[in-house]
Amino acid sequence: MSTVDTVTTAAGVAVGPRLRERRDAGRKLLVPYVTAGISADWTDFLTAYEQAGADAIEIGLPFSEPMIDGPTVQEASERALHRGATVPGILADLRRVRVDVPLVVMTYYHLVARDGHARFCAALAEAGVRGLIVPDLPLEELSELEQAAADAGVDLTLVAAPSGTPSRLREIAARSRGFVYAMTGMVTTGERTELPASAAEFATRLKTHADLPVLLGFGVSTPEHAVAGAHAADGVVVASALMRRVLDGAGPADVGAQVAELRAALDAAQG
């Protein structure tokens, strides 16, 4: 990998091939999340997550109106924005880090569209980000961004919800890139004591449509949840449970240790 600071072509690790390879090798996938700009040293979370065994990392670009996020990610977004986080600033931070893990940005459509789809995707790729999730952009409005992401070498990952009809789920599975993001239930993001009851059944249903890895996210909070979710799916995304700790003052090492516990639980369950 290149170690220079200015990169003009797509850098970073491609999402789809890496996740598929690991899934096919029998590994359960773990994708921890961090809100970009949450602290001055926020990119240290990326390194910590990598060392803890993350298979990819989801990076939230904070938006003032996080429509599908519960209180924890809302608070994290507010804090990051309050600290002055901006899209160009975050991407500049990312250009300075090198991790051997695919990076996937999660943000809202307004921040994508205002720069122009092609420019936004090119800027991601230049910063080493090879995946994108836009949770308020449904299939019907997708085509322009889909093309721009493909042109930039960015996997546009779609979110599937339990409310989806079979034909919607099929189309989401067919048009998603990198992986398919399966909502555990009809919920917003947030820590939960129980994994929504619908999670396993939904992941199983979605997997009948998808060749790509299916990852369950929204409310996966504990190693037990991760194991249960990954049993039905190919892995899990963990966000609020980590960000709660960050908001309460935990640094990259502490939160990295929490990710390592999740990793260990997933590996142990695989035997």
Partner 1 sequence: MGAITAAGLPALLPAAGLMHDPGAAGRFGDYGGRYVPEALMPACAEVEEAFREAWADAGFRRDLDRLLTVYAGRPTPLTPAWNLSAELGVDILLKREDLAHTGSHKINNVLGQALLARRMGRTRVIAETGAGQHGVATATAAALLGLRATVFMGQKDMARQALNVHRMRLLGAEVVEVTSGSRTLKDATSEAMRHWVTCADEAYYCLGSVMGPHPYPWMVREFQRVIGEEARAQCATELPAAIPDYVVACVGGGSNAAGTFAGFAGTAAQLVGVEAAGGAAIAGGKVAVMHGHRSYAIQDEHGQILEAESVAAGLDYPGIGPEHAHLHDLGRARYVTVTDAEVIDAVRRLARSEGILPALESAHAIAWVLRAARDGELPRGATVLITLSGRGDKDTTTLMEIP
Asked if 202 touches partner 1 (CB under 8 A), the answer is: no
Tell me the number of residues near partner 1 by CB under 8 A.
Answer: 42
Chain Cα centroid distance, residue 91: 16
Q: Is 58 one of the annotated active-site residues of the chain?
A: yes
Separation between Cα atoms, residue 128 and residue 226, nearest integer Å? 27
What is the torsional sign of CA 121, 127, 132, 133?
negative
Q: For the window 69-98, what string marks contact with partner 1 as x by the rule CB under 8 A? A: xxx--x---x--x----xxx----------
Least distance from partner 1 to the Cβ atom of residue 27, Å: 27
Least distance from partner 1 to the Cβ atom of residue 177, Å: 15
Asked if 162 touches partner 1 (CB under 8 A), the answer is: yes
Separation between Cα atoms, residue 235 and residue 212, nearest integer Å? 12
Per DSSP bridges, beta strands 29-35 and 155-157 are unpaired
Q: For the window 101-120, what string marks contact with partner 1 as x by the rule CB under 8 A? A: -------xxxx-xx------
Q: Could you write out the three-class secondary structure of 73-99?
A: HHHHHHHHHHCCCCHHHHHHHHHCCCC
Which listed residue (135, 213, 223, 229) binds partner 1 by CB under 8 A? Answer: 135
Least distance from partner 1 to the Cβ atom of residue 157, Å: 12
Nearer residue to partner 1 within complex by CB, 5 or 140: 140
Check 50, 69, 155, 234 and give the catalytic one.
69
Lookup: tokens for 62: 């904070």
Secondary structure element (H or E) that encloses residue 41, with its range:
none
User: Pseudo-torsion of CA 201, 159, 252, 17, nearest 10°?
Assistant: 90
Which listed residue (92, 139, 174, 197) binds partner 1 by CB under 8 A? Answer: 139
Separation between Cα atoms, residue 247 and residue 242, nearest integer Å? 9
Secondary structure element (H or E) that encloses residue 214, with its range:
strand 214-217
Of 9-17, 18-26, 162-170, 260-268, the segment contacting partner 1 by CB under 8 A is 162-170
Nearer residue to partner 1 within complex by CB, 14 or 200: 200
- Residue 35 contacts residue 72 (beta carbons within 8 Å): no
- Residue 38 contacts residue 79 (beta carbons within 8 Å): yes
Q: Is 69 one of the annotated active-site residues of the chain?
A: yes
Least distance from partner 1 to the Cβ atom of residue 117, Å: 12
Lookup: tokens for 6: 């200015």
Of 6-14, 183-191, 223-231, 256-264, the segment contacting partner 1 by CB under 8 A is 183-191
Which listed residue (158, 173, 210, 262) binds partner 1 by CB under 8 A? Answer: 158
Residues lying near partner 1 in the complex (CB under 8 A) are found at: 63-71, 74, 78, 81, 86-88, 108-111, 113-114, 135-141, 158-165, 168, 172, 183, 186-188
